[in-house]
């Protein structure tokens, strides 16, 4: 997440909604994200030439540094970099260049923990291939405000904010690449609509988030990749700190997402920690498809759908979560928060648990999709995680302390003889067919974790703050509905209240108490309970709400959420 302000979570939204006593309105049904058939789109005009000039600038044979070769190049040239360690930060302002290392593992840009970006591109159509960036204070490889970009066979290690990053850029591809050691995200695509971008065949591990995409929308595909050992795996999200909200029309498909939440090896901050242990989080995201992913042993959940509150409340809605294989989740395989979620649906998932427990029955993409059945335990957990981070209870790593990759990575096919292609009309050149994406196979011998101890979706071993907010935001309302509901039904049908109430009135209040969690019970206690005087009714209902609000607001303030 690319933060300018500290966000809270859907739990804060829940509090706001309950304070004013208003249920959010609910939007249209299942997702409308493009998810079938080869795609072809119109892309903005690029200033880059569409073909290589035939000119090669050799580093260090002809130019002592990468930057000197870039500065001397004409649009469309190839910058060919020999093996070595290059202690520099490269800025590219010439369109259509291709920067290529002769050996991905031996061409190393070294930030020495002092330089900001390994390669910083502000020109259209620049491709960067077959090299490594390590130990930069901000980003490894960064495209900003461009039309056309490609990062292929790249390795980014210990870039402190983002490993491989495109911002305010369209028509792009990240492929066959690896990123680790970033406290925000290994891969990031943000502030674009339509993005016309694909992230494919990448590996992200030991990051705060494997992938983050703030306000990245339309023809945005995160596919066929592996996301492991991060605080959380894939997190499309909406924030007011960037332009073009909300994030919408994203496809997350064909990924292997596993063992996220192993936080002792992944740096993070509060925003990343709020997504702790989930494979995929849709945070204030709309009309997005999550399908055909394999999610295994994520410490919290497989797919979590929640709203995002920043300067604006951004409810999630219209999302489809279908045909995923999910197992070994700590809390639940599928989770949906509330009460502001708007029409997201779940179908065909091979999953054994959900919050709420009837998620696929009552929010089905092909059948019933009720607007009011949600899990406040899902909404409360991110709030508790933010409070944990505020109190320093999220494990921290210093820059450079994340584990280092132990393998040598695959090279650009063809090496020196590979075709030189500027990053022009990238998306259309892929002939990309989302319908061809399939679910990965479970690796042989994979042990499946047991579910963690939970009560009503709240993990008992999650720590003080998540349990506290789970109690305030979920256990207390649940108990009001369950205990208060039994009290109301007994009073209506068996107690003294039945004497002052006709059969029609009892049927009406029964439906309200059963069908509308919490609010139905409170309405009966205030308006339908003829056995008590007006003062007692007002005192009981208003007093209980005041006590609950005081405890909740106090926890929010002490927790440092506001």
Cα angle 285, 290, 296 (rounded to 5 degrees) comes to 120
pLDDT digit string, tens, across residues 391-411: 999 988 999 999 999 889 999
Residue pointed to by tokens 């007692």:
536
The pLDDT, as a whole number, for residue 497 is 63
Q: What is the pLDDT of residue 21?
A: 28
Do strands 458-459 and 454-455 pair parallel, antiparallel, or not at all (unpaired)?
Answer: antiparallel
Mean pLDDT of 67-93: 98
Q: Which two tokens stand for residue 52?
A: 């290589």
Higher pLDDT, 10 or 194: 194
Cα distances from 465 to residues 394, 395, 461, 474, in angstroms, run 11, 15, 11, 13
CA distance 327 to 352: 7
Q: SS3 letters for 525-560?
A: HHHHCCCCCHHHHHHHHHHHHHHHHHHHHHHHHHHC
Q: Is the pTM here over 0.75, yes or no?
A: yes
Greatest alpha-carbon pair distance for the chain in Å reads 98
DSSP structural state of residue 383: H
H or E stretch at 18: helix 10-20
What percentage of residues in the chain have a pLDDT greater than 70? 92
Judged against a pLDDT cut of 70, whether residue 30 lies above it is answered with no
Whether the per-residue pLDDT at 532 is higher than 90: the answer is no
- Asked if the model's pLDDT at residue 356 lies above 90, the reply is no
155 Cβ partners below 8 Å, 6+ apart? Answer: 104, 105, 131, 132, 133, 134, 177, 178, 179, 405, 409
- In whole angstroms, how far apart are CA 310 and each of 5, 154, 383, 498? 8, 33, 13, 47
Cβ neighbours of 2 (radius 10 Å):
21
- Residue partners of 483: CB distance under 8 A and separation at least 6: none
> What are the b/e assignments for 435-447, b being 16+ CB within 10 Å?
eebebbeeeeeee
């Amino acid at each position: 997440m690319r933060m300018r302000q500290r966000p809270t979570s859907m739990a804060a939204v829940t509090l706001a909604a309950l304070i004013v006593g208003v249920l959010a309105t609910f939007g249209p049904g299942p997702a409308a994200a493009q998810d079938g058939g080869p795609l072809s789109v119109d892309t903005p005009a690029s200033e880059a030439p569409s073909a290589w000039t035939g000119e090669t600038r050799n580093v260090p044979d002809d130019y002592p540094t990468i930057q000197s070769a870039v500065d001397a190049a004409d649009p469309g040239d190839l910058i060919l970099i020999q093996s070595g360690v290059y202690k520099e930060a490269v800025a590219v302002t010439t369109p259509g260049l291709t920067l290529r290392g002769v050996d991905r593992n031996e061409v190393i840009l070294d930030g020495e923990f002092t330089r900001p970006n390994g390669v910083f591109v502000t020109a259209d159509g620049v491709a960067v291939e077959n090299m490594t960036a390590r130990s930069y204070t901000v980003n490894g490889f960064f495209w900003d405000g461009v039309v056309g970009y490609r990062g292929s066979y790249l390795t980014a290690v210990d870039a402190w904010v983002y490993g491989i990053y495109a911002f305010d850029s369209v028509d792009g591809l990240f492929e066959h690449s690896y990123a680790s050691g970033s406290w925000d995200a290994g891969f990031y695509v943000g502030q674009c609509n339509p993005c016309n971008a694909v992230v494919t065949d990448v590996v992200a591990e030991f990051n705060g988030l494997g992938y983050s995409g703030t306000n990245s929308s339309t023809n945005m595909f995160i596919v066929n990749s592996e996301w492991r050992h991060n605080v959380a795996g894939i997190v499309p999200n909406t924030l007011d700190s960037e332009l073009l909200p909300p994030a919408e029309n994203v496809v997350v498909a064909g990924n292997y997402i596993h063992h996220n939440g192993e936080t002792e090896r992944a740096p993070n901050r509060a925003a990343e920690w709020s997504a702790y242990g989930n494979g995929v989080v849709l945070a204030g995201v709309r009309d997005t498809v999550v399908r055909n992913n394999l999610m295994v042993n994520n410490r919290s959940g497989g797919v979590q759908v929640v709203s995002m509150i920043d300067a604006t409340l951004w409810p999630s809605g219209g999302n489809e979560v279908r045909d995923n294989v999910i197992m070994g989740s700590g809390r639940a395989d599928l989770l949906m928060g509330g009460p502001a979620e708007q029409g997201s649906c779940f179908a065909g998932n091979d999953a054994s648990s959900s919050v709420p427990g009837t998620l696929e029955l009552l929010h089905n993409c092909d059948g019933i999709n009720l607007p009011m059945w949600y899990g406040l335990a899902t909404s409360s957990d991110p709030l508790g995680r933010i409070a944990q981070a505020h109190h320093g209870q999220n494990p921290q790593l210093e820059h450079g302390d994340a584990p280092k990759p132990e393998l040598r990575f695959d090279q650009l096919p063809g090496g020196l003889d590979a075709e030189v292609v500027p990053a022009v009309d990238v998306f259309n050149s892929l002939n990309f067919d989302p319908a061809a994406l399939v679910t990965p196979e479970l690796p042989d011998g994979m042990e499946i974790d047991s579910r963690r101890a939970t009560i009503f979706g709240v993990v008992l071993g999650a720590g003080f703050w998540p349990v506290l907010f789970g109690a305030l935001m979920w256990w207390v309302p649940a108990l009001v509905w369950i205990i208060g509901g039994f009290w109301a039904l007994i009073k209506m049908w068996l107690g003294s209240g039945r004497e002052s109430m006709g059969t029609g009135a009892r049927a009406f209040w029964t439906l309200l108490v059963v069908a509308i969690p919490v609010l139905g019970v409170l309405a009966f206690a205030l308006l339908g309970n003829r056995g008590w005087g007006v003062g007692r009714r007002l005192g009981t209902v208003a007093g209980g709400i005041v006590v609950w609000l005081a405890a909740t607001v106090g926890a929010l303030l002490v927790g440092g959420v506001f």
